[in-house]
Amino acid sequence: MREVFADLLAVDGVKGVLLFSAGGDLLFEEFTIGAAGRPPVREWRALLEAVAGFRETDLLFEKGRVYVRRVGERGLIVVTGLIAPSAMIRLTCDILAPALTQFKPGKGLKRFFGR
């Protein structure tokens, strides 16, 4: 799954990516910042519930931005710095969308063995 998000994580200013299932379960998480600086998963779920009616939204905070997008029934969260190219992030998410709708998380021991 990392290879799917490699282009998105390579965009200047992107600090992390999270993918949630329709039920709110975390399917993928990758950050380029330390664990101490990011909120717990339950905080991200609350954010997804708050923007449930939106297709996409870009939230601006004092120290960074959060881009939230619906991909099918799933929720994609991209954490960025203040100076990050929004258009490039949106374009990369558009390109990733077909791969994300087909992604099925592994169950049991299957998830440890790559294809």
Query: Any idea what the CATH number is for the domain that residue 94 is in?
Result: 3.30.450.30
What pLDDT is stored for residue 110 in this prediction?
47
- The answer as to whether 87 is a domain residue is yes
Rounded to whole angstroms, the Cα distance separating 101 from 21 reads: 10
Contact 71, 101 (CB under 8 A): yes
Domain of 28 in residue numbering reads as: 2-104
pLDDT given at position 31: 87
Q: How far, in Å, CA of 35 to CA of 28, rounded?
A: 15
Any domain includes 72 = yes
Q: Band of the pLDDT at 48, cuts 50, 70, 90?
A: confident
CB atoms within 10 A of CB 115: 3
- How far is it, in rounded angstroms, from Cα 20 to Cα 71? 10
Does residue 82 lie within any of the structural domains? yes
Please state the three-class secondary structure of 5-25 as a single string: HHHHHCCCCEEEEEEECCCCC
pTM greater than 0.75 (yes/no): yes
